[in-house]
Structure 1
Amino acid sequence: MLQQGLRDQLLAFGIDPHRVENIEQLATLLHPDSAQVILLPEASIPDYLQFRESTPEPVNSNPPHVVVLLTEATKLDQEMLPTEVIDVWCLPMPDVALKLRVQGVAEHHQLIEAAKEQKKNLGLQLERSRQEQKIVRNIFTNAFSRALENDPHIDTLLLPLSTYNGDLFLAAKGGTGSLYLLLGDFTGHGLPAAIGTIPASQTFFAMAERARPVSQIAREINRQLNLLLPEDMFCCALIVELSANGDRLNWWSGGMPPALVIHPDGETLDYLSPQHLPLGILSDGEFESGITSTRVAINSQLLMYTDGTIELGTSEQNALGVDGFTQCCKQLDWKMPAIRAFIEEELTKREAHDDLSVVMLHCSETGFAHPDPGDERSPLPFEMCVNIGPNEARTLDPVSTIIRSVCTLEGLAKFRPSLYTALSEAYNNALEHGLLNMSSAPKQSTEGFENYYMERSKRLARLQRGQIDIELRYKPQEALIAVKVRDSGKGFRFDDETQPLSQEHAFGRGLHLIRELTRDLRWSENGRCIEFNFPLGT
């Protein structure tokens, strides 16, 4: 019989005790969630151990707490005790002592129950987290499902610092046979940085499929990120279009390390240095979408990388740096497998603090273009004249509207990127240097670049008079589109009709780009009119 008050005291603490009288009781008492505390007389210990060994423990079993009862001060070997024994009581004992022992069992029981509840809650949270991670992975997988994979022109090394990559690499076939690439680096790393890759990727794929110019792709991604991202987040990016025949790169770079163009003989031919602020910082009105067009020899290579590569070893005051990385790549003959092995070895010596991406593009014919009866150009000549005043310049994108109309004609859609680039450069020159009377010289520095576009926005908002006239004449017999862009500005002096004075400071790289894409470039009307022929060769 239990010491007087023992059972009542246990019940008072919310514990229902069960005393083992015989072996038959154990099957019931040891069932999960049955007894809370078992009071086990010393004589029943061998039977208890035998029963526990012969009976498989149920799945998710919660064995009760066992208190061994002694009737006298017996020497008890601890190895004989079941593992679930939490206390040994020698009865009878003073009521005060018994009360304290009962209280100890109750506290132990409460701790165990609290731990079980916490474990249950943690399990639910873990399962919830797994489901959320699964959903996020599916979203990213679907977002990048249109990416071009296993293309022979592209070799990559993409090493995220955590599960989610804040670096972004995308490749897509253009609608006119060109190959589009985007290498981006969002602020930070991990999931917060990776969030911005979703809208950027969807915009990139949609516009590449429609063969939109690099400048339009950069502008639209910037608009999306500027609207969606917090103020302290942005995306350094290099957007490249490799022409269908593989001999031209049209590119836009904002905040990225300089990419390298490597000639087939292994010598560095050119650097694609950043010329803009990263995507997502400027509003659409402030954004500068101008691109650069670089001719490359067939079988040249373009090496692109994010700053995580050149910042390897920063914490050890031994960063790889642009020069160190370039020198190592040159020693490895610009071979991507060797570069990959070099980076992986460096990661064993230098600590990485950011996502790391290296991309090598092999410049050759893409092989995407194929004969299409719809490529036959329209035999019908046409002319178009558009007059743009201050209000249209502030509120519309005239060049996009013009190009969209022109490229609805048979066989002209494939010229959309280059024609857009040439015409937009001529239009922007007329607007900025003609109507707004600005110089490109301040854009040579980062601070001057930002100030330039702030001033541009202010002048455009105040503009009350002036006009830009754009004329296009499609000449199918000569396989060209004759373009004339005239502004009502002050003009400038020039040596002859093909060479304006101080063109480098007045027009920046825009004039060079027009020369690359067109022929028969000429100036007239005291520098207020630029004319060129855009060839429609195959």
Structure 2
Amino acid sequence: MLRSSRQLVIDIYYDDSVFAQHVCDALKQLDIARRIRCIPVAEWSAQAQLVRPSLLVVETVESFLLQRLRCPEQLLIVPNELSSKLLMQWEGDSLAWQQCSGTRVIQRIKSVADAFNNSRQLQAVRESLLWHNQRVDREHALVEHIFKNALSRNYLEYPHIRTLLTPAAKFNGDLCLVAPGSTGSLYVLMADFTGHGLAPATGALPLSQAFFAMVDNSVSVAEMVKEFNYRLNQLLPNEMFCACFIMELSANGQRVTYWNGGMPPAIVLGADGEIKQRLKAQHMALGVLDSDAFEAHTTTIQTHSDDRIAMYTDGVIEMLSQNREFLGLEALERYLMRYSGLDEFDLLVKKLAQFRGAQPLQDDLSLAILQCCPTGLGPQEEQDELEVLPFSFTSHLEAEDLKHLDVVATILGVLGRLPPIHHHRTTIYLLLAEVFNNALEHGLLGLDSRIKADPEGFAYYYQLRAERLAQLQSGSITIRVEYARAHHRLRFNVRNSGAAWEWPEFDETADGYSSYGRGIDLLRQLATDIEWHDGGREISFTYYAIPRSKH
């Protein structure tokens, strides 16, 4: 909100004429500011970035009017009214001194001062919003890169599956994971988190990491969903859950073991395109029940090499047409029966697109069709990793270091060169940046993230951050990193010398989204053994940089 108040200081640039001296003396007698600074006009520049409202008091004006003003909120005071030609040349306001009373002069000067102050406030808001938008874009790019890395093993190029994955927002709340087991079987997971966008998409990180890790060990579907439910039950807010369909296709393609929690029924189609079975949900979605109440039992069915299984999220059957009519399950089944072959998948997608037309998506849309033929998958080969010695280092940063160094990027530049850690660089950056920024902004600079909850709070928060960092004279942050080679374990400790800071609870808003606190929630999801000490001044956490496998 732009605020108007009595002007503190006004600058008056004057020439050496008797008229200018008379005006300056008269203005000093008027109540136009708490302080008036009279400056020779030789020090004035049309291209200067002025910091206070300014008046130009001159007897001869032609030379000034030929210059284009960088700051047009200036008042030109002259003896008599300017001609029409000169008025068109001057970009600021003008006042004929001989034709105005004292009251009129005060009003005109106040108007110019208010215009100047409003312009500067708007400029500061624009710069703050631009800085914030750039930061949000960088953070989104960072999170997008993390998602890409987390899903880098996703085997969507498997020749016997076709997928359609269309998010309603920038980040997808749906998840489709495909991975070969070590015994030649194939695992497929289709999941749908509550809502769409960044908030539900964050649930994809722990779920995908757990999925690929357990596939490597050929863990059963029942054991998988137990672990998935435990993790999501601990991580997700109360109003968020994850509907999930997960299946394992045996290496010979003749057996499917599946678990369906809260998803629409997967459809088994025969060679003739007729529906053979509907694999309906028999369980609650993931993250709703605690481990004691959760049911993990699976169902196994026999399949043939010409059978196909269609999996989809409710975004498909709830898709709206141009007439705002739902597609519905019956219509989807008709499309699937007509275009059931993998070679007809593009036609199926085209029909769905024709149904929707230009109607925007209301929910993420995901569809996959798998042919139940022998997988042709062999055992996975482990990727060789160069040995790295155990190490530890400590970096102690004083106020001047914090002002001028990109601390997190510098530390990652060192860690990222190590082969076992290289593929985890982006995730480590996110974790370290979160705890470092908390130490700096809350510990040393005394900022409160709740400021961001206000519609105008973002601009104000980051404006305060820049101002307080520039004024920081004392305080320090110490970062310690330890690497245990045997367990691929990185242990981080970040301590600041500032004020105590309280760990915020996850803000369970109606849409699962908060303007602050998301980084802490990601820290909970991606790191382990998180410990806070000394009133929040010190935090420690562990990250396991497990070497990747390749198939």
- Interval of TM-score (by shorter of Structure 1 and Structure 2): 0.5 to 0.7
For residue 29 of structure 1, report the CA deviation from its aligned partner. 4.7
- Per-residue CA deviations over 1:388-413 (Å, capped at 9, x if unaligned) read xxxxxxxxxxxxxxxxxxxxxxxxxx
Give secondary structure in 2 for the equivalent of 1:352. Answer: coil
- 2:86 maps to 1:69: no
Structure 1 unaligned regions, length at least 5 = 373-538
Structure 2 letter corresponding to 1:63? C
Matching residue within 361, 366, 375 for 1:357: 366
- 2:48 maps to 1:31: yes
Instruction: Check 1:238–1:8 CA distance in 2 against 1; reply closer, same or farther (3 A cut).
Output: farther
Partner of 1:511: none
Partner of 2:172: 165
Which structure 2 residues correspond to residues 374-453 of structure 1 after superposition, within 5 A? none
For residue 274 of structure 1, report the CA deviation from its aligned partner. 1.2
For residue 16 of structure 1, report the CA deviation from its aligned partner. 5.0
Give secondary structure in 2 for the equivalent of 1:157. Answer: strand
Whether the 8 Å CA contact 1:164–1:191 is kept in 2: the answer is yes
Instruction: Check 1:329–1:371 CA distance in 2 against 1; reply closer, same or farther (3 A cut).
Output: closer
Instruction: Check 1:14–1:273 CA distance in 2 against 1; reply closer, same or farther (3 A cut).
Output: farther
- 2:239 maps to 1:262: no
Partner of 1:305: 312
- Per-residue CA deviations over 1:480-523 (Å, capped at 9, x if unaligned) read xxxxxxxxxxxxxxxxxxxxxxxxxxxxxxxxxxxxxxxxxxxx
- 2:134 maps to 1:127: yes
Partner of 2:325: 318
Matches of 1:36 and 1:317, distance apart in 2: 56
Which one has more relative contact order, counting CA pairs under 8 Å at least 6 apart? 2
Structure 2 unaligned regions, length at least 5 = 1-18, 382-551
For residue 82 of structure 1, report the CA deviation from its aligned partner. 3.3
For residue 149 of structure 1, report the CA deviation from its aligned partner. 3.5
TM-score of the superposed pair, with normalisation by structure 1: 0.61
Structure 2 letter corresponding to 1:30? Q
Matching residue within 95, 105, 108 for 2:115: 108
Which structure 2 residues correspond to residues 119-518 of structure 1 after superposition, within 5 A? 119-313=126-320, 318-334=325-341, 335-348=344-357, 350-369=359-378
For residue 242 of structure 1, report the CA deviation from its aligned partner. 1.2
For residue 123 of structure 1, report the CA deviation from its aligned partner. 2.7
Partner of 1:396: none
Structure 2 letter corresponding to 1:337? D
Matches of 1:311 and 1:13, distance apart in 2: 65
For residue 76 of structure 1, report the CA deviation from its aligned partner. 2.0
Whether the 8 Å CA contact 2:82–2:96 is kept in 1: the answer is no
For residue 128 of structure 1, report the CA deviation from its aligned partner. 2.9
TM-score of the superposed pair, with normalisation by structure 2: 0.59
Instruction: Check 1:96–1:38 CA distance in 2 against 1; reply closer, same or farther (3 A cut).
Output: closer
Matches of 1:17 and 1:87, distance apart in 2: 18
- Per-residue CA deviations over 1:315-352 (Å, capped at 9, x if unaligned) read 96621111011112323354210111122222325553
Matches of 2:239 and 2:316, distance apart in 1: 22
- Per-residue CA deviations over 1:424-470 (Å, capped at 9, x if unaligned) read xxxxxxxxxxxxxxxxxxxxxxxxxxxxxxxxxxxxxxxxxxxxxxx
Structure 2 letter corresponding to 1:12? A
Give secondary structure in 1 for the equivalent of 2:84. Answer: coil
Matches of 2:52 and 2:182, distance apart in 1: 73
Structure 2 letter corresponding to 1:96? T
Whether the 8 Å CA contact 1:249–1:295 is kept in 2: the answer is yes
Whether the 8 Å CA contact 2:175–2:204 is kept in 1: the answer is yes
Matches of 1:262 and 1:302, distance apart in 2: 6
For residue 13 of structure 1, report the CA deviation from its aligned partner. 5.5
Instruction: Check 1:266–1:162 CA distance in 2 against 1; reply closer, same or farther (3 A cut).
Output: same
Mark the structure with the bigger radius of gyration.
1
Whether the 8 Å CA contact 1:234–1:280 is kept in 2: the answer is yes
Instruction: Check 1:350–1:93 CA distance in 2 against 1; reply closer, same or farther (3 A cut).
Output: closer
Give secondary structure in 2 for the equivalent of 1:158. Answer: strand
For residue 73 of structure 1, report the CA deviation from its aligned partner. 3.8
Give secondary structure in 1 for the equivalent of 2:116. Answer: helix
Structure 2 letter corresponding to 1:206? A
Aligned residues: 358
- Per-residue CA deviations over 1:23-75 (Å, capped at 9, x if unaligned) read xx66x452334785252758534x345444xxxx9xxxx52533233422454
Give the share of equivalent positions with the same residue, in percent: 32
Which structure 2 residues correspond to residues 1-16 of structure 1 after superposition, within 5 A? 1-2=19-20, 3=23, 4-6=25-27, 12=33
Matches of 1:100 and 1:216, distance apart in 2: 78
Matches of 1:78 and 1:221, distance apart in 2: 76
Whether the 8 Å CA contact 1:253–1:274 is kept in 2: the answer is yes
Cα RMSD of the aligned pairs, angstroms, is 2.9
Give secondary structure in 1 for the equivalent of 2:145. Answer: helix
Give secondary structure in 2 for the equivalent of 1:278. Answer: coil
For residue 129 of structure 1, report the CA deviation from its aligned partner. 2.0
Give secondary structure in 2 for the equivalent of 1:231. Answer: coil
Matches of 1:274 and 1:125, distance apart in 2: 44
Whether the 8 Å CA contact 1:17–1:35 is kept in 2: the answer is no
Give secondary structure in 1 for the equivalent of 2:61. Answer: helix
Instruction: Check 1:206–1:43 CA distance in 2 against 1; reply closer, same or farther (3 A cut).
Output: same
Matches of 1:298 and 1:248, distance apart in 2: 10
Matches of 1:320 and 1:245, distance apart in 2: 35
Whether the 8 Å CA contact 1:312–1:351 is kept in 2: the answer is no
Whether the 8 Å CA contact 1:302–1:363 is kept in 2: the answer is yes
